[in-house]
Amino acid sequence: MNCTSVHTALAWLSDSRNLSVAALSCIFFYVIVNAIYQLAFSPLNAIPGPWYAAISDFWLTTHVVRLQQCKVVQQLFDQYGPVVRVGPNKIVFRDITTMKSVYSVNKFDKSAYYKSLLTNNNDHAMTTLEHARHVARRKGYASHYTTANLSLFQPEMHDFTLQLVNILENIGGNTALDCLTLFRQLMVDVVSASSFGYQPGALSKWTVDSEDSLSTAINDFPKRGILRSAVPTWAWKLVCSIPNKRLRQLCDSDKIMAEFVSARVYETRSQLSTRKVDHDECEKLPMLRRLLEHRMTPSNTPMSDQDVISECMGHLIAGSDTTSTTLSYMFWELSRRADIVVRLREELDAAMPDSKAIPDISVLQKLPYLNAFIKEAFRLYGAAPSLLERVVPSSIAKNGEMNEVFDLMGYGLPAGTVVATQGWSMHREPDVFPSPETFLPDRWLETSASPEELTRMNQYLMPFGVGTRVCGGQNLAQFMLKIVVAAVVRNFSVVAPPETNEKSMDMRDSFVIFPASMKCKLAFVPRKH
């Protein structure tokens, strides 16, 4: 190499080092300036919270990835009070008046976080951010979830629940089984029957050691959403390119569900196009039929197949995964609370003289202790207790005037600020729920609480969200929880093996909750009637 080449190479190395130093200096300068701005000059700088959360979203994201966001936010409330800054542009609160203002009165739009839960790479009601567009979508399925309409699907709900009872009887209490899997497959059958008029036979495919791919995909989807929201797009693609079977299954969960739902949509559309439907014979319409016949406002155009598929996928996920989780925690609670079992049996034995004849929902809804038990389960084990993020709009109406700043408990929040509360914390407000971490169904009984106390507790109870974006399928969940608890408690005693304990059942959250061990193993021992 001649001298000129050497000098050229050295000059290039020197320039590269200089560029690297300059780039690092710029990054360092930006970090320092941003930190100073967020801590000293941001409109949100007066709001209490950890300083490191105020300068970057990274700190909170680490807890999201660790599936501990709910607990960390609760700890912040305990430390800083009912209003906390958890990000450069994110405020969390725990206050009933503010909750009503954000979710019910002003009806703020959702934050971009919900886009991580897209189905089939498309919006459904839950991921539609704008309030007005959500209203148009919700009209397509709202009538399906009325109590009167769901009552028409009770034969299917009872049949699948009795199929569950038969499975448990055949096992005879000799084996502890994973309730999360079994109940999820029960709900896949129930939701498919009421939503699509189709029975996939998920329960019949269940074995002690495995579950079908559709049920697994439903379980994987929330975790997939957390990963997608927490890492850049390139990193997500890299994760999904790793040649690991289980990881690929998680990445493909959306695709697996889309294929199942697409088949139902095309089958139903084909049926509608090849025969004239007598609406008198179709008083009992599955949700899919309603969506295919729905006209979007104001255009008066039908929903596209892609929109219908995405919407149905959203309902399949929300209806199956959440209810199975709450059921599992309910029966785990019963495995260690003989006092509650005695009270439930006393009520259910009288209401169900025949242990295999499930009463009409109108009967179950009148059983005080059963309903108190369900409410307490919603309080502690509601499946979706996480932050419900909303965005402060450019103007807010107050006292007949339009304001550019939203007053949140004395703090002025500019447009674009993300605000949120979470059911986890509202359900653990000690002034409303004494001994908040203790499972106490009696707190919901009229004999134990005054009318004013019951009203206040109900105001704080938000297992299905709150306001105009409350979960549309909550009535279906209420039906199935009461039906399954009634049938199982009437026919079985629940026993937890040593491996199912406080540690294994410790709650993790990926918008929805699940046990730390990813399973809930219980044995169901047939009762001697």
Q: Is 471 part of any known ligand binding site?
A: yes
User: In the structure encoding, which two tokens stand for residue 46, read together?
Assistant: 């007066």
- Of 404, 360, 381, 377, the closest CA to residue 505 belongs to 381
Query: To which residue do tokens 């004999």 refer?
Result: 447
**Contacts with 501 (C-beta within 8 Å, 6 or more apart), sequence order:** none
Query: Rounded distance, CA 391 to CA 371, Å?
Result: 35
Q: 59 - beta bridge partners?
A: none
Q: In terms of DSSP bridges, do strands 90-93 and 418-420 run parallel, antiparallel, or are they unpaired?
A: parallel
Q: What is the DSSP string of 331-377?
A: HHHHHT-HHHHHHHHHHHHHH-SSTT-PPPHHHHTT-HHHHHHHHHH
- The answer to whether 406 and 413 are in contact (CB under 8 A) is yes
Asked if omega into 385 is within 30° of 0 (cis), the reply is no
Calculate helix-pair angle for 213-230, 179-196, nearest 10 degrees: 100
3-state secondary structure 264-332: HHHHHHHHHHHCCCCCCCCCCCCHHHHHHHCEECCCCEECCHHHHHHHHHHHHHHHHHHHHHHHHHHHH
Length of the chain, in residues: 529
Q: Which residues are annotated as a binding site for heme?
A: 471
Which amino acids are annotated as binding site, given as ranges?
471
